[in-house]
Structure 1
Amino acid sequence: MNRYCLALDLKDDPRLIAEYEKYHEAIWPEIHDSIISSGITHLEIYRCFNRLFMVMETNDSFSFDKKGALDAANAKVQEWETLMWKYQQAIPGSKPGEKWVLMKKIYNV
């Protein structure tokens, strides 16, 4: 098992944040299927104000390149990502067009 942590910001608008959370209460089945089929075995998203924090656990078949290629070829995932970008914004320091940014682990017990 591998664990990855990623961060992303939402637009700082309470109405948009509420809409974003509603979408995640009933995520589209195609999106759920794309997550599982990519090798992600567990995924959680947390929010603090407008900052999101994602924890992903994956099996050994997972890679970010593979996930990116699968997502690019999936019209429903592209529709979801376009819709979610209405609510999301890049965190400071991210590359142009970059959404979720991989976090560096700095401490472990």
Structure 2
Amino acid sequence: MKRIAQLVKVKPECIDEYERIHAAVWPEVLATIHDCNIRNYSIFRHDTLLIAYFEYIGEDYAADMKKMAADPKTQEWWTLTDPMQEPLEGSSSWWTQGKEVFYTP
């Protein structure tokens, strides 16, 4: 199992809508997350910073992320969420992966 943390910003004017839609994530999107070997997925917000945490239990992360990106319902979901977000300044990716600096089981 691999623990993953990711960070992105939510646009200040989109905070309420972002939280509203995440209070009722579409079942198809949740099923795809599960099918792509992601467990214990959470998104936290501090001001405009979003912090995602999840546990990956699969064997091929890149292939599972490609599978997720190809899912039509997930693509539709992302057409809602992506315009509400912006990458961290200086980041080369949309969601920046955080470095784990401490863990205790």
TM-score of the aligned structures, taking structure 1 as reference length: 0.86
Residue in 1 aligned with 2:101? 106
1:47 aligned counterpart, secondary structure: strand
Q: Which amino acid aligns with 1:31?
A: V
Are the aligned partners of 2:36 and 2:58 in contact in 1 as well (CA < 8 Å)?
A: no
How many aligned positions are there? Answer: 104
Distance 1:90 1:10, change over 3 A: same
Q: Which amino acid aligns with 1:71?
A: M
Gaps of 5+ in 1: none
Are the aligned partners of 1:38 and 1:62 in contact in 2 as well (CA < 8 Å)?
A: no
2:54 corresponds, among 46, 56, 75, to 56
1:91 corresponds, among 60, 85, 88, to 88
Gaps of 5+ in 2: none
Are the aligned partners of 1:4 and 1:102 in contact in 2 as well (CA < 8 Å)?
A: yes
> 1:62 Cα deviation (Å)?
5.1
TM-score of the aligned structures, taking structure 2 as reference length: 0.89
Q: Which amino acid aligns with 2:21?
A: Y
Structure with the bigger percentage of helix: 2
Residue in 2 aligned with 1:26? 24
4+ runs of 1 displaced by more than 3 Å?
none
> 1:8 Cα deviation (Å)?
0.7
Please tell me the root mean square deviation across aligned C-alpha atoms, in Å: 1.5
